[in-house]
Amino acid sequence: MKARVYVTLKEGVLDPQGAAVQRGLQQLGFGEVAGCRVGKFIELVLDGEKDRAHAAERLKEMGKKLLANPVIEDFRFEVLEG
């Protein structure tokens, strides 16, 4: 089973990397970019996992314990077949 985890800064947390990307895009002529936030994308392979509900519970634990900083980040995930 595979899973995709998306980690993003919580609303209201400053994102200097996102601001730098936004400025860079605007300097390259992409003036329509009015905002940018940068996050993390993590793809996991869950060996031997067959039950989607159990996989979801384990992913919640992973997100809370390691993949995201709960003080400044939110996370969401998708459980995929295969």
Domain containing 14 — which CATH number?
3.30.1280.10
Tell me what the mean pLDDT of segment 61-65 comes to: 97
Q: What is the mean pLDDT of the chain?
A: 96
Q: What is the pTM of this model?
A: 0.86
3-state secondary structure the chain: CEEEEEEEECCCCCCHHHHHHHHHHHHCCCCCCCCCCCCEEEEEECCCCCCHHHHHHHHHHHHHHHHCCCCCEEEEEEEECC
pLDDT digits (tens, 9 = 90+) for 19-43: 999 999 999 999 999 999 999 999 9
For 64, the domain range is: 2-80
Query: pLDDT, tens digit, for every residue of 44-59?
Result: 999 987 899 999 999 9
Query: How many domains, in total, are found in the chain?
Result: 1
